[in-house]
Chain A
Amino acid sequence: MRRLAGVEDEEKWLAEGIAGIQHTAFFMHRALDANNLREVLKYSALMLSELRTSKLSPQKYYDLYMRAFDELRQLEVFFKDESRHGLPVVDLYELVQHAGNILPRMYLLCTVGSVYIKSKQAPSKDVLKDLVEMCRGVQHPIRGLFLRSYLAQVSRDKLPEIGSEYEGDANTVMDAVEFVLQNFTEMNKLWVRIQHQGPGTVREKQEKERNELRDLVGKNLHVLGQIEGVDLEMYKETVLPRVLEQVVNCKDELAQYYLMECIIQVFPDEYHLQTLETLLAACTQLMVGGLSDLSVLPLTILPTVDTKIVLTQLMDRLSNYAASSPDVLHEFLQVEAFAKLSNAIGKVIDTQIEMPIVGAMTLFVSLLTFTLRVHPDRLDYVDQILGACVVKLSSVPKLEDARAMKQVVALLSAPLEKYNDIVTALTLSNYPRVMDHLDDGTNKVMAMLIIQSIMKNNSCISTADKVEVLFELIKGLIKDLDGTDTEELDEEDFQEEQNSVARLIHMLDNEEPEEMLKIICVVRKHLMTGGTRRLPFTVPPLVFSALRLVRQLDSQGGDITGEEVSATPRKIFQILNQTIEVLSSVPCPELALRLYLQCAEAASDCDLEPAAYEFFTQAFILYEEEIADSKAQVTAIHLIIGTLQRINVFGVENRDTLTHKATGYSARLLKKPDQCRAVYACSHLFWVDDIDGIKDGERALLCLRRALRIANAAQQMSNATRGSSGPVTLFVEILNKYIYFYEKGNPHITPSDIQSLIELINTEMQSDDNGNRRTHSDPFFTSTLRYIRFQKQKGGLIGDKYDLIKL
């Protein structure tokens, strides 16, 4: 009837009920004032009859109950005072049982019962036992729940717990526990029963109502948790088994979930720890209950989630407990908490075939969190968990659930966060196996997390084995995985990822050259699989990493020269050569060229002429075959020249070949100004301002002259095409070169050369009659002249030289 009624009707019924209570309570108060026991009983029973209604929802019924409750307090005061009603309490106890209706009878009995206990005329345990037993008569779920919660309330301060005035003699704390347990059991049964009443269509509403009522049931557990004198022994032997029996047997998800939660929250962590086995056994049994329920009720909402949450909560609490003080850790070891938890979870996952993978993963995450907190030193535990996780993941075809994925990421991140050190994680053999089960996107996310962790902690990975494992982990970033659609990748993300990898490479370091070489080889092996898109990002750091090793070896000097030593610069250069070669085929010739030059320079520092020569050769080949863009050529040639200029390892022959090549290429650039600039740059190849540098003044001058010619040609071309000669910049630049070499003491540069060049520039400037003629080269030229004057004035050795130049 109630189910079909609207809210308005309910309001009306509640109002009627309250009015009824007030009405009869009025007469009851009159009888109370007159100390008329018979009338008091009559009207109180009448008043309590209002609670017999079936029309109200739990919420409204609670309102009504509270009204009656207030009245019952006054009644209790009356019952307490024997002088007012003139009856021994024991007689009163019988008298109230004459009431014909059970509900009023039981409320009155509970009220008198509490007075009875207080009078201490009977052992409290007997009265309590009687009350809790007699309450069985009320089987209506809501009415029964409220009645029993009334009983719990009036008896709360009268339990024979330790330290209570009601304890002693025959009344032990055991009796108190027994009483609360029994009341709890009955209340739970009533509570669960709501679910099985009424048609399926109102199940949701029932579920809601039950949720409103759950605290009535849970309160018993709170009381149990608060009873003084429940020691571990008693908890282990009596309280927990009884409560769990109830929880397991009720086969109701809502109840199981809520009650397990209560148990975990209410009792001390220490108890949980000591009774872990029992608790976990119950958890695994919950599933059985949930499953059988599933077959009956099609409407079950998220079956089995409860166990997961329950276990998670338990582990969280235990973890916190462990974290609270280091003193308790030995307890964990003593009870083998990890093994038990791990077993339980395994069992749950095994028996629970329907459990979504996300559930299992959540459990693993909790267990892992627990392990990391409690046994931070036991990496084998962590590995074991990951192993279990792998087994579970292997049993499902493909991980597609996003939430599950998230959990796996959490699972994998936990050790990283805990140890702040990827190195630890690298020793976990199952770690990569778990990662294998991630989809590509997540795999990358995870890989990024790993790299970030490394960066954040600045941890250095120093052995080849670990590097191997690490690269196995982040292979999502290193190479294209099967089926990845590269088109969909966001370019920015990709760059970010690859930059991370590049940064990572710099974190791989070992003082020991041997090991470092191994690391480099490993990294190289992995990077080479990366494909054309990745190589440009990943090769440079590898190359520089290798070069660093080379320099390190070099600085250590020749004391490690034995044949058996593999980490020689020569060997490294070989590797580098092969590495960069790959890059040139990517194609990414400019980059490859730069790297070749870097290597050449390093080789030169190591006095390895053949290697350096080889690198240059490669660079030139690249220049010839791959670099077609004129702008790129300009850049490349300047790089080549710059590098070559600094290298001093070459013998005359090799150097000639190379400089010749460089000069030749310079002269064959497309644009005249480029040619000019490249050529005058080449002059430096013949005049290195070092103590033992090459000083071939003649060829330097030749270069400059050639540059002048080209500049001239450029000027004429400009005249021909635009009708005006271009700026004199090139001349000024060449002038500066002249001055430089002159200052450095190149005997082939004479002051007259400089003078004539200055004149030439002046002429050029004047011949250009246009108004803009001074705009470009003027300042450069002026400041060049100013420099010369300045040097003249300064005097000294250089000043003397400059004095020869006539302006």
Chain B
Amino acid sequence: MNYLRGAFKPACNISITFTDGKNRKQVPVKKDNGQMVMNPLFHSQETIAGKVCIEPYQGKKVEHNGVKVELLGQIEMYFDRGNFYDFTSLVRELDVPGEIYENKAYPFEFPTVEMPYETYNGVNVRLRYVLKVTVTRGYAGSIVEYQDFVVRNYSPLPPINNSIKVRSKLSQFPGSLSLFILNPFALKPLLASDMLNSFGPLLDVQMEVGIEDCLHIEFEYNKSKYHLKDVILGKVYFLLVRIKIKNMDLEIRRRESTGAGANTHVETETLAKFELMDGAPVRGESIPVRLFLTPYDLTPTHKNINNKFSVKYYLNLVLVDEEDRRYFKQQEITLYRLKDESS
């Protein structure tokens, strides 16, 4: 049951209902105020149909210059709040200008709507789909009502997805067998976004501190692309250990970049921190990796969504030594949504 909030006008009450609203799957969405609400879930190419009910309050009539329903796909940047960029906009006129005296229902239908992007709630960016009903009025201002819905799209199984590929990717980095040191003092500025832009400079930094003689590891993940309920399998093999490792974690990091060119904002969050190893390994030790993705709030990888933003995921292998120095190696993985999933 849709319930109107937000736009509350003394003149009338507008409600939007979906045709199959009762049966349609609902997914929780976090709102701006932090509350979770359940929104219906759609996929691209689906027909979005329903009806709009306008209920004037007791005896009042609603005078209007027309009633329309729009289906909007919007991207909102938080640094540019309130400014929506609509990448999809479909309109249905529901009524010609006139007056409404009593409850009136307008069925609507957007057949096979192309909704290429998934709903996304990020740190700096939000992508949402919304139905917007407007009762246009001349003098008193239009009455507007929104109904959010969620879009998720399934990806087909990636044609190429094997561990060999991951390893070959690894070998692209000259330092794939050694790790970046993250000196808590010198490298602090590098922690967040900058270092992710290019690996090259970082490698140089690492070479300078000469860590390559202390710690050589080789690691392997079974795939480069995982679906959201997947499990990451792999192993970390220690070729050379000359420092006292305290523990080793595997982190899942989300890197969200917004804007373009000089205005690019990058935000990295650590979504999962999973301890792989406790204590100091010795040379030749191989540590298994098994990380279930289910418990974490992940989305598929988004690449350059409408030239506005990208969301990438990384597996970050972090080793901490007894003096709390951190050594890490980051590896991008692609997340995708597999059909057959329950959500």
A interface residues, Cβ below 8 angstroms from B? 52, 94, 97-98, 100-103, 105, 133-134, 136-141, 143-144, 189, 193, 197
Q: Which residue of B lies closest to A133 (CB)?
A: B288
* Consensus secondary structure, chain B interface: strand
Q: Which residue of B lies closest to A141 (CB)?
A: B279
**A-B contacts, 23 listed (Cβ < 8 Å):** A97-B292, A98-B294, A100-B273, A100-B274, A100-B275, A101-B275, A102-B275, A102-B278, A103-B278, A133-B288, A134-B288, A136-B286, A136-B287, A136-B288, A137-B277, A137-B278, A138-B279, A139-B277, A139-B279, A139-B285, A141-B279, A143-B279, A197-B244
Q: Which residue of B lies closest to A1 (CB)?
A: B322
Q: Which residue of A lies closest to B238 (CB)?
A: A139
Q: Are A138 and B277 in contact (CB under 8 A)?
A: yes
Q: Is the CB of B56 closer than 8 A to any CB of chain A?
A: no
Q: Which residue of A lies closest to B286 (CB)?
A: A136
Chain B residues near A105: list those with CB within 8 A.
Answer: 275
Q: How many residues of B contact A (CB 8 A)?
A: 20
Q: How far is the CA of A490 from the CA of B179 in the complex (A)?
A: 78
Q: How far is the CA of A600 from the CA of B294 in the complex (A)?
A: 118
Q: Which residue of A lies closest to B249 (CB)?
A: A100
Q: How far is the CA of A722 from the CA of B102 in the complex (A)?
A: 179
Which residues of chain B from 254 to 290 have a CB within 8 Å of any chain A CB?
Answer: 273-282, 285-288, 290
Chain A residues near B278: list those with CB within 8 A.
Answer: 52, 101-103, 137-140, 143-144
* Consensus secondary structure, chain A interface: helix
Q: Which residue of B lies closest to A106 (CB)?
A: B278
Q: Are A102 and B290 in contact (CB under 8 A)?
A: no
Question: Nearest chain A CB to B32's CB is how many angstroms away?
Answer: 28
B interface residues, Cβ below 8 angstroms from A? 244-245, 273-282, 285-288, 290, 292, 294-295
Question: Nearest chain A CB to B287's CB is how many angstroms away?
Answer: 6
Chain B residues near A97: list those with CB within 8 A.
Answer: 290, 292
Q: Are A139 and B273 in contact (CB under 8 A)?
A: no
Given contacts A100-B274, A100-B275, A102-B275, are A139 and B280 in contact (CB under 8 A)?
yes
Chain A residues near B275: list those with CB within 8 A.
Answer: 100-102, 105, 137
Q: How far is the CA of A805 from the CA of B292 in the complex (A)?
A: 140
Q: How far is the CA of A101 from the CA of B273 in the complex (A)?
A: 9
Given contacts A137-B288, A139-B285, A193-B282, are A98 and B295 in contact (CB under 8 A)?
yes
Q: Which residue of A lies closest to B282 (CB)?
A: A193
Q: Are B285 and A136 in contact (CB under 8 A)?
A: yes
Q: Are A140 and B292 in contact (CB under 8 A)?
A: no
Beyond A102-B277, A140-B278, 10 extra complex contacts between A and B, CB < 8 Å: A94-B294, A98-B294, A102-B276, A102-B278, A105-B275, A134-B288, A136-B287, A137-B275, A139-B281, A139-B287
Q: Which residue of B lies closest to A140 (CB)?
A: B279
Question: Nearest chain A CB to B321's CB is how many angstroms away?
Answer: 13
Question: Nearest chain A CB to B257's CB is how many angstroms away?
Answer: 27
Q: How far is the CA of A139 from the CA of B276 in the complex (A)?
A: 10
Chain B residues near A52: list those with CB within 8 A.
Answer: 278
Across the A-B interface, give the 8 residue pairs with the lowest CB-CB distance, nearest first. A140-B279, A139-B279, A102-B275, A139-B281, A98-B295, A138-B278, A101-B275, A137-B277
Q: How far is the CA of A88 from the CA of B280 in the complex (A)?
A: 35
Question: Nearest chain A CB to B234's CB is how many angstroms away?
Answer: 12
Chain A residues near B285: list those with CB within 8 A.
Answer: 136, 139
Residue of B245, B282, B287, B295 near A137 (CB, 8 A) is B287
Chain A residues near B274: list those with CB within 8 A.
Answer: 100
Question: Nearest chain A CB to B253's CB is how many angstroms away?
Answer: 15
Chain B residues near A189: list those with CB within 8 A.
Answer: 282
Chain A residues near B288: list those with CB within 8 A.
Answer: 133-134, 136-137
Chain A residues near B279: list those with CB within 8 A.
Answer: 138-141, 143-144
Question: Nearest chain A CB to B280's CB is how many angstroms away?
Answer: 6
Q: How far is the CA of A197 from the CA of B244 in the complex (A)?
A: 9
Q: How far is the CA of A100 from the CA of B279 in the complex (A)?
A: 15
Q: How far is the CA of A193 from the CA of B280 in the complex (A)?
A: 10
Question: Nearest chain B CB to A360's CB is how many angstroms away?
Answer: 35
Q: How far is the CA of A189 from the CA of B282 in the complex (A)?
A: 9
Chain A residues near B276: list those with CB within 8 A.
Answer: 102, 137
Chain A residues near B280: list those with CB within 8 A.
Answer: 139-140, 197
Q: How far is the CA of A141 from the CA of B282 in the complex (A)?
A: 11
Chain B residues near A133: list those with CB within 8 A.
Answer: 288
Q: How far is the CA of A229 from the CA of B124 in the complex (A)?
A: 64
Question: Nearest chain B CB to A752's CB is how many angstroms away?
Answer: 123
Chain A residues near B295: list those with CB within 8 A.
Answer: 98
Q: Which residue of B lies closest to A52 (CB)?
A: B278
Question: Nearest chain A CB to B84's CB is how many angstroms away?
Answer: 37
Q: Which residue of A lies closest to B296 (CB)?
A: A98
Question: Nearest chain B CB to A100's CB is how many angstroms away?
Answer: 6
Q: How far is the CA of A103 from the CA of B247 in the complex (A)?
A: 11
Question: Nearest chain A CB to B238's CB is how many angstroms away?
Answer: 9
Q: How far is the CA of A449 from the CA of B275 in the complex (A)?
A: 70
